């Protein structure tokens, strides 16, 4: 089968795959067949909607700058902190980076790193507030 840029338009609607699954589920003596069949029948349109979204959805760009808080302690040595360059296609403004000496999954939601993040946000909001007050 040739896959196009838009799989929702393909002749193959996935019914062969779903038919094979239903044959498996409906085999004689299967205790789950009554409970699984409705799920399988509802799954095909959902799957094709997800394919359509994958090929057609475009994320909106952030028109301003962002502040990127990066957890710098990595528990997996094969992974590195995300580069600000990874965000550039999605951000039109400046990307300001603040490194936090914590692990992401285990500690970024704890009081100490949240206090660091909050301190940076307060500073930035004060700058915005002061700038706007001077413009009035």
pLDDT (0 to 100) of residue 3: 37
The string of pLDDT tens digits covering residues 56-92 is: 877 788 899 999 999 888 888 888 888 999 999 989 9
Q: Which two tokens stand for residue 110?
A: 């704890």
Q: pLDDT-based confidence at 122, cuts 50/70/90?
A: very high
pLDDT, tens digit, 9 for 90 and up, residues 11-42: 445 455 556 665 665 665 555 556 666 666 67
As a dihedral over the C-alpha atoms of residue 45, residue 48, residue 50, residue 55, rounded to 10 degrees, the angle is -160
Q: Are 71 and 114 part of one and the same domain? A: yes
Question: Would residue 115 count as lying in a domain?
Answer: yes
And the tokens for 20?
């094979």
Cα–Cα distance between 100 and 110 in angstroms, integer?
12
Same domain, 131 and 71: yes
* Residue where a domain stops, chosen among 19, 37, 56: 56
If one counts the domains in the chain, the total is: 2
As a whole-number percent, the residues of the chain with pLDDT over 90 amount to: 24
Q: Are residues 25 and 81 in the same domain?
A: no
Question: Which residue range is the domain that position 32 belongs to?
Answer: 7-56
Q: Residue 6's pLDDT is what?
A: 39
Domain boundary among 56, 74, 97: 56
55: confidence class by pLDDT, cuts 50, 70, 90: confident
More confident residue, 124 or 59: 124
Whether residue 38 lies inside any domain: the answer is yes
Question: In this structure, are 43 and 97 located in the same domain?
Answer: no
Q: Is residue 2 part of a domain?
A: no
Question: In the beta sheet, which residues pair with residue 62?
Answer: 91
Neighbouring C-beta atoms of residue 69, cutoff 10 Å: 19
Sign of the dihedral defined by the CA atoms of residues 90, 91, 96, 98, in that order: negative
Angle at 132 between CA 117 and CA 121, to 5 degrees: 0
């Amino acid at each position: 089968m040739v896959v196009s840029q838009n799989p929702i338009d393909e002749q193959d609607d996935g019914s062969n795959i779903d038919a094979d699954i239903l044959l498996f589920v409906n085999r004689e003596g299967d205790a789950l067949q009554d409970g699984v069949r409705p799920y399988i029948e509802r799954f095909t349109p959902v799957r094709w909607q997800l394919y359509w979204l994958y090929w057609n959805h475009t994320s909106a760009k952030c028109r301003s700058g962002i502040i990127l808080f990066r957890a710098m302690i990595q528990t997996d040595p094969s992974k590195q902190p995300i580069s600000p360059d990874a965000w550039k296609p999605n951000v039109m403004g400046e990307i300001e980076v603040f490194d936090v000496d914590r692990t992401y999954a285990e500690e970024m939601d704890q009081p100490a790193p949240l206090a660091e993040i909050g301190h940076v946000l307060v500073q930035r909001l004060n700058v915005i507030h002061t700038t706007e007050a001077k413009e009035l």
